[in-house]
Structure 1
Amino acid sequence: MTQVDLTGKTAIITGANSGIGYGAAKDFVRNGARVIMAVRNEDKGKVARERILQENPQAAIDVMRIDLADLASIRSFADAIKGQLDSLDLLINNAGVMMPPHSKTKDGFELQFGSNHLGHFALTGQLLPLLKNTPGSRVVTVSSLAHKGSEILFDNLDGSKGYKKFQFYGQSKLANLMFARELDKRLKQHGLETISLACHPGISSTNLFKFGKKDAPNFMKSLMDKLLQPADMGALPTIYAATHPSLKGGEYIGPDGKGRRKGYPALDTPHPVANDEDVINKLWEISEKLTGVVFDF
């Protein structure tokens, strides 16, 4: 992959303490960026930061707390960032929860839709003034192969009428993809230079793959390592979407291998379910209503 010089650029990565977010953070600082690791658990964030500094002692890397399952936490994070920065080159909407038992965010949203989609929607809307202020800025939102064949359950967004964890995970990842592409469309309609892209990691062995509350047993880990790509490879589509000079916005990037499960980053095609304009517009409206965040293009 082409190495892009990121000297002088600032990136915010949600969920940067592990997996894909950690892989992206390592790459960005190696190429000269300042990285803000936006994490729920600051202790884990600091451990991850120390690991990166051991490899790259000159790295400019900070840890800040954000809980994407809490709109007040998102607002205080965004306010703190706007107090520190007047520009922002990269926002990587990466953090995610995957297939937990039915539970709610602080604001009463179903946890996966609330954290994975609404949290990132609210964060992006509140950081938009900084992104607009920065030539060549990008927003990258991490979706998943799980968006395929999913739907937005507008009459059951909170899961109160029944909850299947994989179905609700797929819904949140479809929402991520719809949001990323619609954001790009609206940015272009308003003549803004900021672009928005979506990506997915294929199937990578990040710590999202937990068996209940316990780590997978060792034999499962070795099996997963054979079948799945390592987190550093899973991070490549995110890095490509964030940095590749050929991209114009609105693209969807994933691995190039069989079934798009493994491999090196390339353009991918979203499932047709992601192209329904009525659903996309309804999702945007309801996201503004639920979060109270209206995008000021």
Structure 2
Amino acid sequence: ANVLHSQELNMRFEAHGMAVQCYSVHPGVVATDIFRSMNPLAGLLVRLGSRVLGKSPAQGAATTLHCALAPELPPGYYSDCNPGDLHHPCLLADPGLQVRLWDLSVQTTGVDLPPPDSLSDLDR
């Protein structure tokens, strides 16, 4: 869903020549306390596993920073500071799916961004 939304945003911005790019970023397994409110035993196992196998928070932030700061980096899905492999790339080839997911998200949340034909009114 993240990748589909990112692609839809890129299409909306690109359609109006806006110099905005969106990225889908996977930080990997990062050793944080995000699981602290899980079931105590499950949380302990996840925290131990992430500490042994995971990245530090700084390492986990590297891909996000890379996408935000690297000049001329093409939009897309990134993991470990490189274009990532997607499990179902055929789903991304369906622009109708992107629009349907976008519309469902708007319907569910009640929040919308301007449609592509109205983005030209935004400051560039």
Quickly name the TM-score band, shorter chain normalised: 0.7 to 0.9
1:293 paired residue number: 111
- 1:252 pairs with one of 77, 93, 108: 77
Deviation at 1:208, TM superposition (A): 2.6
Shift in CA distance, 246/222, structure 1 to aligned 2, threshold 3 Å = same
Is 1:187–2:1 an aligned residue pair?
no
Identity of aligned residues (%): 26
Higher RCO (C-alpha under 8 Å, 6+ residues apart): 2
Deviation at 1:247, TM superposition (A): 1.0
Deviation at 1:180, TM superposition (A): 1.1
AA aligned to 2:50 is: M
Deviation at 1:278, TM superposition (A): 2.8
AA aligned to 1:251 is: G
Q: Is the 8 A contact 2:32 2:47 kept in 1?
A: no
Unpaired runs of 5+ in structure 1?
1-174, 256-264
Provide the C-alpha distance between the structure 1 equivalents of 2:63 and 2:32, rounded to a whole number of angstroms: 15
AA aligned to 1:266 is: N
Shift in CA distance, 211/234, structure 1 to aligned 2, threshold 3 Å = same
Higher strand share: 1
Shift in CA distance, 186/211, structure 1 to aligned 2, threshold 3 Å = same
1:233 paired residue number: 59
Match of 1:181, SS state, is helix
Deviation at 1:269, TM superposition (A): 3.0
Question: Mapping of 1:197-212 within 5 angstroms?
Answer: 197-210=23-36, 212=38
Deviation at 1:209, TM superposition (A): 3.2
Unpaired runs of 5+ in structure 2?
120-124
Provide the C-alpha distance between the structure 2 equivalents of 1:223 and 1:287, rounded to a whole number of angstroms: 33
Question: Mapping of 1:89-168 within 5 angstroms?
Answer: none
Provide the C-alpha distance between the structure 2 equivalents of 1:224 and 1:291, rounded to a whole number of angstroms: 32
Shift in CA distance, 293/223, structure 1 to aligned 2, threshold 3 Å = closer
Deviation at 1:211, TM superposition (A): 6.4
Shift in CA distance, 185/214, structure 1 to aligned 2, threshold 3 Å = same
Is 1:269–2:85 an aligned residue pair?
yes
1:60 paired residue number: none
Deviation at 1:197, TM superposition (A): 1.1
Q: Is the 8 A contact 2:31 2:54 kept in 1?
A: yes
What is the TM-score when the length of structure 2 is the normalising length?
0.73
- Find runs of 4+ consecutive structure 1 residues off by over 3 angstroms: 213-217, 219-223
RMSD over aligned Cα atoms: 2.4
Match of 2:22, SS state, is strand
Q: Is the 8 A contact 1:177 1:274 kept in 2?
A: no
1:164 paired residue number: none
What is the TM-score when the length of structure 1 is the normalising length?
0.34
